[in-house]
């Protein structure tokens, strides 16, 4: 398959995407988090408040809108752990076309039910099958136009609109942190931020069980992550960094911060307890990374990329972290 060469996301691309998606997406708020003494100054970019409760809607709406009419009429399909599937399904419904999603079979039921409600036809597969299909851009029996959930110029340009919003709302920002899965979110945000304010650092965040981007930055080349493990952080942390995504990320991203699953659980709790924000595992990764101090004292903008978590899993995390805090004698800041 012949693919369009990778090219930089320009300010013109981003501004046009912003105008294209403005009537569909929410210009999400940027709120200060009262994290407590000794922690960095943190602001939350609340992408969990999008209509699909995930940033993926930005890219999906732009990508589907940019398809030629002949391609849209054939229907669209994508591959997803749930959030990209919701975004493409939402955009497809808006365009009045069919949508199918090759979905990872362990996706949270909240994401599965939402995709069904949006009219998507779901084809559940194991993670490794989905990851292989993402690389090959093909899946047996699928018809219509494939919308890649991260390695797509227009998808990334849609995400980049978030970066311009951050700079408008918090021009004093010193660092931005975003979870890395396929790399589309951080590439888009970093492209916008670096174009306007190249001194601002842009860091990724990955779980220790799936951190190929951190390995790639350490090695200076795209790497596979041999110790990959599934976890509740289902929306981030891939098995590898695709070479095309490395080509996109390397010029604009400063590195990736690896956090433990326990640090991520604590970040989920902090968002719920201190800000009354519901975040899925991937949505809390950036906060977990900020709290390590590795991105500096701030102001740091952390992107709460999604809130599509099963309530039973959220309750489990809150109960487990609450017990740990009670044992340690910890009290959250007032």
DSSP for 117-177 reads HTT-EEEEE-HHHHHHHHHHT--TT--SEE--SSS-HHHHHHHHHHHHHHHHH-TT--EEE
Predicted local confidence at residue 324, as pLDDT: 67
For residue 331, pLDDT beyond 80 = no
- The pLDDT score that the predictor gives to residue 322 is 82
CB-based burial of residue 168 (10 Å sphere; 0-12 exposed, 13-18 middle, 19+ buried)? exposed
User: How does pLDDT run across 203-255, given as a tens digit for each residue?
Assistant: 999 999 999 999 999 999 999 999 999 899 988 988 999 999 999 999 999 99
Mean of the per-residue pLDDT values for the chain? 94
> Are the beta carbons of 321 and 265 closer than 8 angstroms?
yes
Residue among 125, 122, 130 at smallest CA distance from 85: 122
Helix, strand, coil fractions of the chain, as percent rounded to 5: 45, 15, 40
Q: What is the pLDDT of residue 329?
A: 55
> pLDDT tens for residues 12-32?
999 999 999 999 999 999 999
The confidence score (pLDDT) of residue 330 equals: 52
Topology agreement, domain 11-54+153-327 and domain 57-146: yes
Please state the rounded mean pLDDT for residues 67-91.
Answer: 94
Percent of the chain at pLDDT above 70? 96
Q: Give me the pLDDT at residue 328, please.
A: 59
The arrangement of secondary structure in 57-146, i.e. its CATH architecture, is 3-Layer(aba) Sandwich (3.40)
State mean pLDDT over 263-288: 97
Residue 139 and residue 123 in contact, taking contact as beta carbons nearer than 8 Å: yes
The mean pLDDT value for 166-187 works out to 97
Q: 36 falls in which pLDDT band (50, 70, 90)?
A: confident
Look at residue 1 in the predicted model and tell me its pLDDT. Answer: 63
Q: Which of 80-89, 98-107, 198-207 holds the top average pLDDT?
A: 198-207
Beta-carbon contacts of residue 333 (< 8 Å; ≥ 6 apart): 34, 35, 36, 37, 274
Q: Taking Cα atoms as reference points, which of 299, 296, 273, 298 lies closest to residue 284?
A: 273
Give the angle 82-187-92 at the CA atoms, nearest 5°: 40
Query: What pLDDT score was predicted for residue 138?
Result: 93
Is the domain defined by 11-54+153-327 classed in CATH 1.20.1250.20?
Answer: no
Confidence check: pLDDT of 327 > 70: no
Which residue ranges make up each domain of the chain?
11-54+153-327, 57-146
């Amino acid at each position: 398959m012949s693919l369009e060469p990778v090219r930089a996301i320009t300010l013109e691309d981003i501004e046009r995407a912003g105008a294209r998606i403005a009537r569909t997406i929410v210009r999400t708020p940027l709120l200060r988090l009262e994290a407590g003494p000794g922690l960095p100054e943190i602001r939350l970019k609340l992408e969990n408040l999008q209509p699909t409760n995930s940033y993926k809607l930005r890219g999906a709406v732009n990508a589907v809108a940019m398809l030629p009419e002949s391609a849209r009429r054939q229907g669209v399909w994508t591959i997803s752990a749930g959030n990209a599937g919701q975004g493409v399904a939402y955009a497809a419904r808006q365009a009045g076309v069919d949508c199918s999603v090759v979905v990872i079979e362990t996706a949270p039921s909240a994401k599965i039910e939402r995709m069904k409600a949006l009219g998507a036809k779901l084809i559940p597969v194991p993670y490794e099958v989905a990851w292989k299909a993402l690389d090959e851009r093909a899946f047996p029996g699928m018809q219509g136009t494939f919308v890649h959930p991260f390695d797509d110029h227009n998808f990334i340009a849609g995400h980049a609109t978030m970066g311009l919003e951050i700079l408008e709302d918090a021009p004093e920002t010193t660092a931005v942190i975003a979870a890395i899965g396929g790399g589309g979110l951080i590439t888009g945000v970093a492209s916008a931020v670096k174009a306007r304010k190249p001194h601002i650092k842009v860091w990724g965040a990955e779980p220790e069980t799936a951190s190929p981007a951190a390995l790639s930055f350490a090695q200076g080349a795209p790497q596979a992550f041999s110790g990959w493990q599934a976890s509740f952080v289902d929306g981030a942390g891939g098995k590898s960094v695709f070479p095309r995504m490395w080509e996109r990320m390397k010029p604009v991203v400063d590195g990736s911060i690896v956090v433990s699953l326990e640090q991520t659980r604590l970040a989920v709790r902090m968002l719920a307890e201190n800000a009354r924000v519901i975040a899925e595992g991937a949505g809390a990764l950036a906060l977990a990374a900020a709290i390590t101090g590795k991105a500096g004292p701030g102001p740091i903008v952390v992107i709460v990329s999604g809130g599509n978590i099963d309530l039973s899993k959220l309750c489990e995390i809150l109960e487990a972290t609450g017990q740990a805090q009670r044992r340690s004698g910890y009290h959250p800041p007032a």
